[in-house]
Amino acid sequence: MEIVQRDDSRPFATKDGSIIRSILDRTNSTVMHQSLAEATLPRGAATTPHRHPRAEEIYYILSGNGEIVIEGRSAAVGPNTGILIPPGACHQIRNTGQVDLVFLCCCAPPYSHEDTAMG
């Protein structure tokens, strides 16, 4: 059994510009096939459009409001919304609300800077 506390992880900037905290990944556990992180986008911020050639991602919005764009298609997102991002799909998320946009990111295989291509 492995249990990791959110506050034991230091936030860091990803290649796309979001600030994340690893909840479970290769840096703090023995997980091998996926990663789970909490991402925060401040009011008015957006990630840089990017893709992950290998990783399938799931975003789950915890709080705030935003807009997700995947392969040119956009949709409004808010609390309790799940979003599937297929491998290789160009995507961007933008905070359109008045408070931080906070969401969980699950990646399989685990997130890595090497699997992030801009544009």
7-54 tens-digit pLDDT: 888 888 877 778 889 898 888 888 899 999 999 999 999 999 999 999
Which pLDDT does position 15 carry in this prediction?
Answer: 77
Q: How many domains does the chain have?
A: 1
Find the distance separating the first CA and the last CA of the chain, reported in whole Å. 39
In a domain, 3, yes or no: no
Q: Could you tell me the pTM of the whole model?
A: 0.90
79 residue type, one letter: P
CATH number assigned to the domain comprising residue 18: 2.60.120.10
Residue 47 lies in domain:
12-118
Query: What is the CB neighbour count within 10 angstroms for residue 19?
Result: 15
In a domain, 30, yes or no: yes
Check the CA dihedral 21-27-30-35 and report its sign.
Answer: positive
In a domain, 4, yes or no: no
In a domain, 7, yes or no: no
In a domain, 58, yes or no: yes
Segment holding 42, helix H or strand E: none
CA-wise closest residue to 113 among 28, 16, 9, 34 = 16
In a domain, 38, yes or no: yes
